[in-house]
Amino acid sequence: MELPPRPTLFDFHGVPMIEIFTANWDSIQNFKARPDDILIATYPKAGTTWVSYILDLLYFGQTCPDRHMSIPIHERVPFLEISIPSQPSGKDLADHLPTAPRLIKTHLPVQFVPKSFWEQNCRIVYVGRNAKDNTVSFFHFARMSNFQPEPGDWSTFLQRFMEGNSERNKLIQNSTTCSTEDLIEDFGREFNSLCFFLGLSPSAEEKERVATGVMFDNMKQNKMTNYSTVKTMNQDVSPFMRKDPLNFT
């Protein structure tokens, strides 16, 4: 498979972006959110996949158990703004999700989130991460993902990261906030907090099922969560899921 050249960052209304996030811009901005949609808003590599899988198992682990071993996580929880040639756009995947609620993820900064999410008063789960771990994870992801700008060496990437010359996100209203560090420190406490925000009361058995399913080693071995089905990611360069020391993606 011949891969396209790496993209370059450019200024988009004051925010560094790449073309796969802006090519479908008008369509993204006109996205029709529903009142029960849940938006997972994160900085890239801040714990997006982990929290996406937690919520996916929480909502659909019992009613649709086969989907977790047959449908990739990026189809179950579409990446709203992504638009890659010859592949379904994130918006199209979100539009056609058969589940209720729809779980949708985004790395857009608050000013770019489609207005329908505010109009429909959708719930938003914002995921943060220690900046040091986030930077390391993002660097290795940029090394292995052909749809990321060339990262250069570590010192160059780190300087660019500290200057803010990468995709950005901000805390947004009507949301709950969690962090990968807090989830690792006390998963039960943070899981209960998420459930409270979402208005859910899972049984002890359901909590255990989710906690087991989202363990790092289980997710790393699951082809539906480790992104090994995505051919534009060269996991020989660096695995999508790394653990060094706090490195859920």
d(CA 27, CA 197): 30
Position 64 scores a pLDDT of 74
DSSP 8-state class, residue 173: S
pLDDT of residue 66: 77
Residue 8 lies in a domain: no
Answer yes or no: is 161 within a domain: yes
Residue 249 scores a pLDDT above 50: no
The answer, yes or no, to whether residue 248 has pLDDT greater than 50, is no
Average of per-residue pLDDT across 151-173:
71
Task: Give domain status of residue 9, yes or no.
Answer: no
In the predicted structure, residue 86 carries a pLDDT above the cut 50: yes
- 8-state DSSP, 39: E
pLDDT, tens digit (0-9, with 9 covering 90-100), for 34-59: 999 999 999 888 889 889 999 999 99
Mean pLDDT highest for which of 57-66, 134-143, 168-177? 134-143
Q: Distance of CA 208 to CAs 8, 192, 195, 203, 233, Å?
A: 43, 12, 14, 9, 32
Give per-residue pLDDT as tens, 165-196: 554 444 445 678 888 889 889 999 999 999 99
Report the alpha-carbon distance of residue 201 to residue 90 in Å, rounded: 30
Residue at 232 is within a domain: no
CA dist 212 to 178, 218, 237, Å? 19, 8, 28
**Local confidence band at 241 (pLDDT 50, 70, 90 cut-offs):** low
Q: Is residue 21 part of a domain?
A: yes
**How many domains does the chain divide into?**
1
Q: How confident is the model at residue 10 (pLDDT cuts 50, 70, 90)?
A: very high
Task: Identify whether 107 is a catalytic site residue.
Answer: yes
Q: Does any domain span residue 227?
A: no
Of 72, 89, 71, the residue nearest 80 (C-alpha): 89
How high is the pLDDT of residue 167? 47
SS3 111: helix
Give the pLDDT confidence of 215-224 residue by residue, as tens digits: 888 877 877 7
pLDDT level of residue 3 (50, 70, 90 thresholds): low
Q: Which of 124, 122, 132, 121 is nearest to 45 (CA)?
A: 132
3-state secondary structure of 42: strand
Phi, psi at residue 129, to the nearest 5°?
A: -155, 150
Asked, for residue 131, whether it belongs to a domain, the answer is: yes
The CATH number of whichever domain residue 62 belongs to comes to 3.40.50.300
Q: Which of 68, 74, 107, 140 is catalytic?
A: 107
76: containing domain: 15-221
Residue 68 has pLDDT above 80, yes or no: no
Distance of CA 171 to the CA centre of its chain: 15
Tell me if 10 is assigned to some domain: no
